[in-house]
Structure 1
Amino acid sequence: MTIVAAADGSALGNPGPAGWAWYVDENCWQAGGWPHGTNNQGELMAVLDLFRATEHVAAEPLRILCDSQYVINCITKWMPGWKRKGWRKADGKPVLNLDLLKDIDAAIVGRNYTFEWVKGHAGHDLNEAADDKARAAATAYQAKRQPPRGPGFPNTPAGGAATAEAKEPAAAASAPVAGNAAAALPAAAAPFELPGHEQPDLFSSLEEEFAPAGGTAVDAVVALERELLTPSVRADVSRVAVLLHPDFEEIGASGRMWTRDAVLASMDQGAAKAPSMDVLAVDLLDPATALLTYRSTDHRGTALRSSLWRLLEGQWRLRFHQGTPEA
């Protein structure tokens, strides 16, 4: 019987508090995360933990639903070439997220698996559930508390790899981890590590964040734009302030020019339904600039929109936006 599971990652800020999750149903899912990480690391960790969680049923085919083309390409296309080159990319630079990729490479040996790309935030039940669990984990780390970890996979052997993260000894949980914010967390909220698996280099992924082939900047910018359209976020001045560039400007449908301060001062506190978003294109103009164009649809009709995102101190922030209603 084929096991069908969605795997997803989330990072609030990308990089920022990060979570991962895989999801089969409400009785079969698992999540975790770190105080600081990227979407890519969350996506990869979700896939790795899914393989480990199903080791005891390795004979069953595994079908993994994933909305990250970067993750799918890493595992199904690029890894063999990277391994032949000593885990280096075509330009000779070391592969990023190497520890996670090596662990996945070992975990998939002898497994019968397929990946299926699904469009994120498009109403796919399993993908939406995995995304919700991953974001809940990231939000928990942002609040410096333990994330909801889930029931895991049924009949996983006690002490097995799939449950080891949650069973890490308390002494290890309170030990500081170099290179991230773990030392600032209270002991009960410090991140756990899987045995034999070091925490990834959580600050090394910016190069991949704007690599067009990997799609990582594309994923990040689209996700942040969708976040800005969410009513709960638009009602949160502090979150919108983080997402808007200090020099943000917007040309409204009426032709009015809006500044960042003006937008923050006039934010709608209502609970209107978020408009749908149909991405038309995402163009990386340079390593720190992405242009997103899309069509939004709400009760007022449709509009063509363009957003210019800039990478500022490791955070994608919206520099300019313009929307034009369609006739």
Structure 2
Amino acid sequence: MAWSDGSSRGNPGPGGFGTVLRYTGPDGRAHEREISAGYRRTTNNRMELMGAIAALEALRRPCAVTMTTDSQYVCNAFNKGWIAGWQRRGWKTASKQPVKNVDLWERLIAAASPHDVTWVWVKGHAGHAENERCDELATSAADGSALLEDVGFEG
């Protein structure tokens, strides 16, 4: 199981992501890992993507994973087939506009490809414990002092 969230203080502005991974090892023991990072100038959607990327890139072997996020942007891209359409049109939307955040979409597709991912949306700020924890991680990272450069946004 994986949960992720992204946050931006201003859009664009300082931002961060948070993710929680929970799994049962071969020995039957439960494990949990939290991952977060902050960026000095980014957008909320980029951080939503980075949360999912960080979760999937942390997995060490192919597995079935339920990826839960409060981002309809991320869930719908997979569950409604948006990505296939964007790729077919050369990373253009149905209205022929360039797709935003292509660098992160390509990274997320690559991170998801070895896994059997089920994308699940939950309403944000609605008391879902793991989503609330991811939000705490994301906002703390965005408010931190050691902020990274979001090269795909700033560069």
Q: TM-score, normalised by structure 2?
A: 0.86
Q: Which amino acid aligns with 1:96?
A: K
Match of 2:8 among 11, 17, 24: 11
What is the aligned partner in structure 2 of residue 128 from structure 1?
A: 132
Alignment pair present for 1:35 and 2:32: no
Q: Which amino acid aligns with 1:39?
A: N
Contact 2:41 2:149 in 1 (8 A): no
Q: Which amino acid aligns with 1:201?
A: F
Alignment pair present for 1:67 and 2:19: no
Q: Number of residues paired by the alignment?
A: 146
CA distance in 2, matches of 1:64, 1:110: 14
Contact 1:7 1:127 in 2 (8 A): yes
Structure number, greater radius of gyration: 1
Instruction: Determine helix, strand or coil for the equivalent of 1:201.
Output: helix
Instruction: Determine helix, strand or coil for the equivalent of 1:51.
Output: helix
Instruction: Determine helix, strand or coil for the equivalent of 1:131.
Output: helix
CA distance in 1, matches of 2:129, 2:36: 17
Contact 1:38 1:202 in 2 (8 A): no
Contact 2:17 2:141 in 1 (8 A): yes
What is the aligned partner in structure 2 of residue 79 from structure 1?
A: 83
- Give unmatched runs, 5+ long, in structure 2: 23-30
CA distance in 1, matches of 2:135, 2:110: 25
What is the aligned partner in structure 2 of residue 261 from structure 1?
A: none
Match of 2:153 among 189, 198, 201: 201
Per-residue CA deviations over 1:76-100 (Å, capped at 9, x if unaligned) read: 3210010011111112111100100
The alpha-carbon deviation at position 49 of structure 1 amounts to 1.2
The alpha-carbon deviation at position 15 of structure 1 amounts to 1.5
CA distance in 1, matches of 2:48, 2:6: 4
Q: How does 1:96-245 map to 2 (within 5 A)?
A: 96-140=100-144, 145-146=145-146, 189=147, 191=148, 199-201=151-153
Q: Which amino acid aligns with 2:37?
A: G
Instruction: Determine helix, strand or coil for the equivalent of 2:140.
Output: helix
CA distance in 2, matches of 1:110, 1:82: 21
Contact 2:21 2:55 in 1 (8 A): no
Q: Which amino acid aligns with 1:38?
A: T
Aligned CA-pair RMSD: 1.9
Q: Which amino acid aligns with 1:35?
A: R
CA distance in 2, matches of 1:29, 1:62: 16
Q: Which amino acid aligns with 2:3?
A: A
Instruction: Determine helix, strand or coil for the equivalent of 1:57.
Output: coil
Identity %: 36
Higher relative contact order (CA 8 A, sep 6+): 2
CA distance in 1, matches of 2:95, 2:154: 22
The alpha-carbon deviation at position 75 of structure 1 amounts to 2.9
CA distance in 1, matches of 2:68, 2:110: 20
The alpha-carbon deviation at position 192 of structure 1 amounts to 5.8
The alpha-carbon deviation at position 132 of structure 1 amounts to 0.3
Displacement over 4 Å in runs of 4+: none
What is the aligned partner in structure 2 of residue 46 from structure 1?
A: 51
